Structure 1
Amino acid sequence: MPLLPDQEYEWLEAQTAPACLDWAKKQSQLTANKFDHLPRSKALLAEMEALTSTQVQTPDFWIWGKALFRLRKTTANKQGRLERCERSSTGDDNLPPDATDWKLVVDIDELGEKEGRIFEFHSYMECNLFGTDGERLLLLLSDGGADLVEMREIDARTGHEIPDGFRTGPGRISTAWLDIDHLLICHSVYGGPKTVGDWPAQVHIWERGTHLKDAKLVFTAPLTDAITVASTLGPMNPGRAIITRSINYSTFAYSIVSLDGSVKELSDIPKGQSMTIPIKFTAQHVVVSLAEEATVCGRKVPVGTLVAYDIATDAHAPGDSKLSIVYEPEDDEVNLGLWGGGLAGTRSRFHFAMSKRGVERRMAAEYVAGGSDDGAGAWSIVRSIPTSTGSRSFIVSTDFYSDDIIVRETGILSPSTLWIEHEDARQSVLYAQNAAFDATGFVLRQLTAESADGTQVDYLLLSPKVPHNEAGKAPLLMTAYGAYGISFPTTYLDEMLGGLSIVPWLQAGGSLAIPFIRGGGERGEPWHEAARQKKRQKSYDDFIAVAETLIKNGFTSPECIGVFGMSNGGLLAAVMCTERPHLFGAVVSDVPLTDMLRYPTMGMGGAWIYEYGDPSDPEMAKVLRSYSPFHNVSDGVKYPPCLVTISTNDDRVGAGHGRKFAAKLKDAGAASLYFFEDDSGGHNVSDSFKNTKLLVRRLVFLMEALL
């Protein structure tokens, strides 16, 4: 079938239109028929299912006052069991809580079965717990992995829903307790005005015993904003919560809301910030990381500086007097975890992780009244702990009633260990992950390639110590992300590495390369800025440079290289397919963006204009079209085998991107184009623990093409 005009594919953007679902079902069945019956498929499925049953998946943990919570997933409970234990049961030793200490709060799978749905748990626990022992929980449930959630108020000690408690239908929801009878809530349950990112723009105070429709409106964000979020200021700030306006993904404004409905904007906080939602805080301060130079406390401070704003002192004090500098980074020092685990607050300390030339340390700072030379308050580093070589450390949860935290340390070859780190530096082990494979047979190296403009690009190469293939023919998977200043997560069995599916690949003799391309956060905000909007091609040039370097150095060959990526990484994979089809032997594009001229109209794409650029601007449209995968599919090109995977209920990117790209490739005569659309899973459809069959299909596709 010849290529149609671009607009003739727009019908595939309708997320749940019957014609779209019928098309997707037929294409998905063809893909399943192709791969499910191949000889290696049955063995790989058995291997993956065996891996999921060995308890290698790390539970999520939270700490809250006198209680610990965890979400534990097994083969029998793929969505997880939310459990709670009293902290006193852990004792003072380094032993994890005994299995009998954990009491069931909610079995997510069982609840879904009871109501005929596939519930997934959304885990903004720091905003959703109330009371010194976490006795009340606002349970957020997604139907099938969509970003829309519904909320239910639960007694966390019994697991029972509170009679006539707070409860909503589905919508984009963020919330915070003001007191036991009042919530600050930002929601789209009943429609209402929305931001360009399709998020609710209005924030209300909802009183117990009243209908959500009657909640008191206290704030409306400009509809030109990207995202509006309501979040907690912790139990040490009763009767107050905070609204975050993400004007775009690097410009933020904040307002504190009090129980009486009054709203105070924190206008003196510099607005150019790295994205951290929800905002981090201690009992006395909110803390941000600067994405641009700013003048703070009378002097210029660099990008990456952590700046605090005092929310506890006299409201009438001058705003600039409430600012203080928590930490000013050294040259070449960056925070790799701004999006998760690299910034966190407890009652009186602020915790953060910094990396300098590959050496990471985790630090904590405390505010000391009168601690500076002029008698003003100042921050003092009270803890600096190096991370083990080859690993990353993450602050996964913090206690607002103390200065205790939960830390996770992990690496590509190092299973995760989690522990409670007490304010006196004692450590109590919570969990040690089982190894999924023998790491002694592999070597992990950090190498460098030169990009098209001469920039040196670091990359990790994980390969067998003893090659399984002849020189220059190593089967290699490459993946990266490269956007929003996000550092690629080099953690054990990370979802962005394929989760459990990377294990059979490595055991079959495969290798893995992870280029730290521009657009990401591996070298701080300048590395992100270097590939934003009109400079996006530099991100792709970096990835291509690593592939070409590995070929030039005799490690592999084009027909042996597979590319995979999810979300923006799925866009990257699709660009590699259309821009350099002869450089790669296979491509997997998971939940991708592909139509860069219409992305603001799909999912929450309107929130991403700061990152990619506005296609309504003619000059920007030329740039976007130059790499937009959908627009660069052409007749007569020999494309590598390509698998596109999406979910019907991915309301973040939207199903239209993947459908349109696959349909156009098929019409262009791509001989080995495969498409699979799952009806659930949302933007995380390729979770290898929950969706083993999909990951097996992906693995079979890659092995058939590359091994």
Structure 2
Amino acid sequence: PLLPDQEYEWLEAQTAPACLDWAKKQSQLTATKFDHLPRAKTLLAEMEALASTQDQTPDFWIWGKTLFRLRKTTANKQGRLERYERSSTGDDNMNLPPDANNWKLVVDIDELGEKEGRIFEFHSYMECNLFGTDGERLLLLLSDGGADLVEMREIDARTGTEIPDGFRTGPGRISTAWLDIDHLLICHSVYEGPKTVGDWPAQVYIWERGTDLKDAKLVFTAPSTDAITVASTLGPMNPGRAIITRSINYSTFAYSIVSLDGSVKELSGIPRGQSMTIPIKFTAQHVVVSLAEEATVCGRNVQVGTLVAYDIATDAPEDSRLSIVYEPEDDEVNLGLWGGGLAGTRSRFHFSMSKRGVERRMAAEYVPGGSDDGTGAWSIVRSIPTSTGSRSFIVSTDFYSDDIVVRETGILSPSTLWVEHEDSRHAAFDATRLVLRHLTAESADGTQIDYLLLSPKVPHNEARKAPLLMTAYGAYGISFPTTYLDEMLGGLSIVPWLRAGGSLAIPFIRGGGERGELWHEAARQKKRQKSYDDFIAVAETLCIGVFGMSNGGLLAAVMCTERPDLFGAVVSDVPLTDMLRYPTMGMGGAWIYEYGDPRDPEMAKVLRSYSPFHNVSDGVKYPPCLVTISTNDDRFAAKLKDAGAANVGGHNVSDSFKNTKLLALL
């Protein structure tokens, strides 16, 4: 039987022995149950075989004449950071030789962890922190066991050795950028200090080589009400300068440039209403942002999603530094952070636009004196369409040239990289047996919802009767990634499903970014139910199972509690489940802009109306539920169990090298 809500709060203690013991026992109980299911051993063997042959597509960074990659394999689960010397001209388009001898080892992350008795992960979210014309120095950021906290070490990227008495920190939230070879701009929480509401460090320092981090010069303090503060590079073409990004909330941003002398200049001319999914990018002369609200730029009104550039290479007045890179068409959206759709080189700005599932990869170049009034203007110099269901990623750009590495992939197409390097993956399943359709469904309020249906090549009415899974995201303005074996598609766990003749539906629901910022706003905070209505509209025509991760895990959990009659099975991976207490958990305070503040009584009513934890009820026949969840929120799994549903504790099922058995359970 269900207990009062407060009786589950003891499970919020992330590392308490009793909490960890409960999670361990429940995980073992569920794993044991799955071990006795038909085909359990067969599926596990299949997943292990897939994991042994499907090396992950490497991460790449171009830096002058050098190309870096982080390659993960079954032998090196954490990866080998390697470098390759390009031709003397740097502009050859020849494929890089596949012979491993042409790549020189910088750091073996697995080996380094073994030496120190830890499980290190290479942390590259804030870009690869290289310095020098050929990337001679690297600020290596390592997390222990995938934790949010990282530690930093300065590495000679030519030899792979740590610089004696170089820059080095203990664990903390860290973002940093080179100012010159002897100075870093660094925002960190290595020591106690002011924090933002999102539990990120609020202070930024200049750290000089040979001095203790505690003695670094304080240059900036963000308000405690901000969500996140980050220090990042402006590239080698802007020596002695770096940039601070204040994420006031997930749609309001402010920027300041810090110089080597410690001076700080706010870029007040940039409109503050911006998209969280389009992080600031730059060329040698401009920083570029995407607007999340209408604004007046260059004397005219521009719509949401417009890409705007700010000139950092001039002393002109603030109001004359802005220029319009690209204004989207109706229903057109930039793919942004998670879509690999935004990047700058020395003189070009690259971006990807999507309109109702049809994508174009574009590039713009700034032309001084190119406008009617004699000021500069941006000109589109490239516009390349991609096929339905495919996506092009701008993997890396060179700050010393206009070279780029592009990766193209789709639900049915393994990743292919080209220009400076080509490193393709083998197909994990026979895509010729499948067909991908672009369809629509009508939501509760009449809105047409686009969705992709991937199914065996049989007549459409027969495909609709086949077993079918469904997944979506629908939050933060993020477009759902339709890429090969993407973790949000289930990673390798989707392969046995497709091989066995299963189908997959992906609705582009409101709250996501598929039709721009207005599509995101249509399901934010008090309008969140729109997102779930859209998903249900597609689900009502199909016989399905549902899965999702992160916000998609919340979506799956809501489907379980709101419409258990529609689904034959539910997989909810690392979901947010208690919408009344989420701001008190981890980074939850930074998510208030997206979901709303439960301290507001009116907002609390909305949140409780769909909060999975608060909507588990006795006497309801729930579908089989697999909940893979962090130990900092086991309460939803516990409450489902008390209501009679199946569950398992864990975290992020989609890493093929680390969770092969858990993938097989799916």
Alignment TM class, shorter chain as reference: over 0.9
Q: Note the C-alpha offset of 1:650.
A: 9.6
- Is the 1:62–1:69 contact (alpha carbons within 8 Å) kept by the matching residues of 2? yes
CA distance in 2, matches of 1:324, 1:625: 44
- Is the 2:256–2:265 contact (alpha carbons within 8 Å) kept by the matching residues of 1? yes
CA distance in 2, matches of 1:177, 1:650: 38
- Is the 2:96–2:420 contact (alpha carbons within 8 Å) kept by the matching residues of 1? no
Corresponding residue of 1:706: 665
Is 1:584–2:567 an aligned residue pair?
Answer: yes
Matching of residues 249-328 of structure 1 within 5 Å: 249-276=250-277, 278-314=279-315, 317-328=316-327
- Is the 2:553–2:575 contact (alpha carbons within 8 Å) kept by the matching residues of 1? yes
Q: Note the C-alpha offset of 1:304.
A: 1.1
Q: Note the C-alpha offset of 1:340.
A: 4.0
Q: 1:62 to 1:682 in 2, by over 3 A?
A: farther
Is 1:134–2:135 an aligned residue pair?
Answer: yes
Q: Note the C-alpha offset of 1:41.
A: 2.0
- The farther-off stretch of 322-331 and 81-90 is 81-90
- Is the 2:174–2:189 contact (alpha carbons within 8 Å) kept by the matching residues of 1? yes
- The farther-off stretch of 50-59 and 577-586 is 50-59
- The farther-off stretch of 7-16 and 469-478 is 469-478
CA distance in 1, matches of 2:189, 2:130: 22
TM-score, normalization by structure 2 = 0.95
Matching of residues 349-364 of structure 1 within 5 Å: 349-364=348-363
Secondary structure of the structure 2 residue equivalent to 1:416: strand
Structure 2: where are the runs of 5+ without partners? Answer: none
Q: Note the C-alpha offset of 1:415.
A: 1.1
CA distance in 2, matches of 1:264, 1:611: 29
CA distance in 2, matches of 1:401, 1:380: 21
- Is the 2:68–2:81 contact (alpha carbons within 8 Å) kept by the matching residues of 1? yes
- Is the 2:278–2:289 contact (alpha carbons within 8 Å) kept by the matching residues of 1? no
Q: Deviations over 1:145-200 (max 9, x none)?
A: 12111111111111111111111111111110011111111111112111111111
CA distance in 2, matches of 1:125, 1:535: 32
- Is the 2:40–2:665 contact (alpha carbons within 8 Å) kept by the matching residues of 1? no
Q: Note the C-alpha offset of 1:648.
A: 4.2
Secondary structure of the structure 2 residue equivalent to 1:549: coil
Secondary structure of the structure 1 residue equivalent to 2:520: helix
- Is the 1:649–1:682 contact (alpha carbons within 8 Å) kept by the matching residues of 2? no
Q: Note the C-alpha offset of 1:91.
A: 7.7
CA distance in 2, matches of 1:473, 1:241: 56
- Is the 2:616–2:640 contact (alpha carbons within 8 Å) kept by the matching residues of 1? yes
CA distance in 2, matches of 1:577, 1:164: 55
Q: Note the C-alpha offset of 1:331.
A: 2.5
CA distance in 2, matches of 1:339, 1:628: 26
Q: Note the C-alpha offset of 1:55.
A: 3.8
Secondary structure of the structure 2 residue equivalent to 1:89: coil
- The farther-off stretch of 607-616 and 374-383 is 374-383
CA distance in 2, matches of 1:91, 1:515: 42
CA distance in 2, matches of 1:313, 1:570: 47
- Is the 2:27–2:650 contact (alpha carbons within 8 Å) kept by the matching residues of 1? no
- Is the 1:335–1:355 contact (alpha carbons within 8 Å) kept by the matching residues of 2? yes
Q: Note the C-alpha offset of 1:694.
A: 1.5
Q: Deviations over 1:551-605 (max 9, x none)?
A: xxxxxxxxx5211111101100110111011111111111110000000000101
Q: 1:626 to 1:387 in 2, by over 3 A?
A: same
CA distance in 1, matches of 2:89, 2:144: 34
Corresponding residue of 1:112: 113
Q: 1:423 to 1:121 in 2, by over 3 A?
A: closer
CA distance in 2, matches of 1:92, 1:347: 14
- The farther-off stretch of 387-396 and 528-537 is 387-396
Secondary structure of the structure 2 residue equivalent to 1:589: strand
Secondary structure of the structure 1 residue equivalent to 2:633: coil
Q: Note the C-alpha offset of 1:662.
A: 0.8
Q: Note the C-alpha offset of 1:221.
A: 0.5
Q: 1:424 to 1:561 in 2, by over 3 A?
A: closer
Q: Note the C-alpha offset of 1:672.
A: 6.6
- Is the 2:278–2:337 contact (alpha carbons within 8 Å) kept by the matching residues of 1? no
Q: Note the C-alpha offset of 1:473.
A: 3.9
Q: 1:276 to 1:216 in 2, by over 3 A?
A: farther
- Is the 1:145–1:683 contact (alpha carbons within 8 Å) kept by the matching residues of 2? no
Q: 1:169 to 1:467 in 2, by over 3 A?
A: farther
Aligned-CA RMSD value:
2.8
Q: Deviations over 1:401-427 (max 9, x none)?
A: 11111111111001111113699999x
CA distance in 2, matches of 1:296, 1:396: 30
- Is the 2:70–2:80 contact (alpha carbons within 8 Å) kept by the matching residues of 1? yes
Aligned equivalent of 2:592, options 605, 609, 623: 609
- Is the 2:416–2:424 contact (alpha carbons within 8 Å) kept by the matching residues of 1? no
Secondary structure of the structure 2 residue equivalent to 1:527: helix
- Is the 1:468–1:509 contact (alpha carbons within 8 Å) kept by the matching residues of 2? no
- Is the 1:274–1:338 contact (alpha carbons within 8 Å) kept by the matching residues of 2? no
- Is the 2:227–2:590 contact (alpha carbons within 8 Å) kept by the matching residues of 1? yes
- Is the 1:404–1:423 contact (alpha carbons within 8 Å) kept by the matching residues of 2? no
CA distance in 2, matches of 1:201, 1:537: 34
CA distance in 2, matches of 1:422, 1:368: 29
Q: 1:294 to 1:189 in 2, by over 3 A?
A: same
- The farther-off stretch of 448-457 and 27-36 is 27-36
Q: 1:286 to 1:106 in 2, by over 3 A?
A: same
- The farther-off stretch of 162-171 and 476-485 is 162-171
Equivalent pairs counted in the alignment come to 664
Q: Note the C-alpha offset of 1:291.
A: 0.9
Is 1:534–2:493 an aligned residue pair?
Answer: no
- Is the 1:475–1:706 contact (alpha carbons within 8 Å) kept by the matching residues of 2? no
- Is the 2:357–2:514 contact (alpha carbons within 8 Å) kept by the matching residues of 1? no
- The farther-off stretch of 351-360 and 374-383 is 351-360
Structure 1: where are the runs of 5+ without partners? Answer: 427-433, 551-559, 652-659, 674-680, 696-704
- Is the 1:90–1:97 contact (alpha carbons within 8 Å) kept by the matching residues of 2? no
Q: 1:467 to 1:384 in 2, by over 3 A?
A: closer
CA distance in 2, matches of 1:672, 1:596: 20
CA distance in 1, matches of 2:417, 2:429: 19
- Is the 2:627–2:647 contact (alpha carbons within 8 Å) kept by the matching residues of 1? no
- Is the 2:129–2:177 contact (alpha carbons within 8 Å) kept by the matching residues of 1? yes
Q: Deviations over 1:333-369 (max 9, x none)?
A: 2212344411110111111111234332211111111
- The farther-off stretch of 136-145 and 118-127 is 118-127
Corresponding residue of 2:506: 514
CA distance in 1, matches of 2:39, 2:203: 53
Q: 1:101 to 1:369 in 2, by over 3 A?
A: same
Secondary structure of the structure 1 residue equivalent to 2:39: helix
Q: Note the C-alpha offset of 1:640.
A: 0.8
Q: 1:306 to 1:40 in 2, by over 3 A?
A: same
Q: Note the C-alpha offset of 1:65.
A: 0.9
Q: Deviations over 1:67-123 (max 9, x none)?
A: 101111111111111111111289866454642110111111111111111111111
- The farther-off stretch of 31-40 and 490-499 is 31-40
Is 1:593–2:561 an aligned residue pair?
Answer: no
Q: Note the C-alpha offset of 1:649.
A: 7.9
Q: 1:424 to 1:362 in 2, by over 3 A?
A: farther
Q: Note the C-alpha offset of 1:626.
A: 0.3
- The farther-off stretch of 563-572 and 89-98 is 89-98
Matching of residues 358-437 of structure 1 within 5 Å: 358-420=357-419, 434-437=426-429
Q: 1:168 to 1:250 in 2, by over 3 A?
A: same
- Is the 2:30–2:647 contact (alpha carbons within 8 Å) kept by the matching residues of 1? no
Is 1:155–2:135 an aligned residue pair?
Answer: no
Q: 1:638 to 1:310 in 2, by over 3 A?
A: same
- Is the 2:580–2:598 contact (alpha carbons within 8 Å) kept by the matching residues of 1? yes
- Is the 2:282–2:343 contact (alpha carbons within 8 Å) kept by the matching residues of 1? yes
- Is the 2:390–2:409 contact (alpha carbons within 8 Å) kept by the matching residues of 1? yes
CA distance in 2, matches of 1:151, 1:685: 28
Q: 1:261 to 1:127 in 2, by over 3 A?
A: farther
TM-score, normalization by structure 1 = 0.90
- Is the 2:354–2:514 contact (alpha carbons within 8 Å) kept by the matching residues of 1? no
- Is the 1:230–1:242 contact (alpha carbons within 8 Å) kept by the matching residues of 2? yes
- Matched-pair identity in %: 94
CA distance in 1, matches of 2:423, 2:441: 44
- Is the 1:221–1:245 contact (alpha carbons within 8 Å) kept by the matching residues of 2? yes
- Is the 2:277–2:477 contact (alpha carbons within 8 Å) kept by the matching residues of 1? no
- The farther-off stretch of 349-358 and 212-221 is 349-358
Is 1:169–2:189 an aligned residue pair?
Answer: no
CA distance in 1, matches of 2:240, 2:90: 33
- The farther-off stretch of 111-120 and 592-601 is 111-120
CA distance in 2, matches of 1:452, 1:402: 50
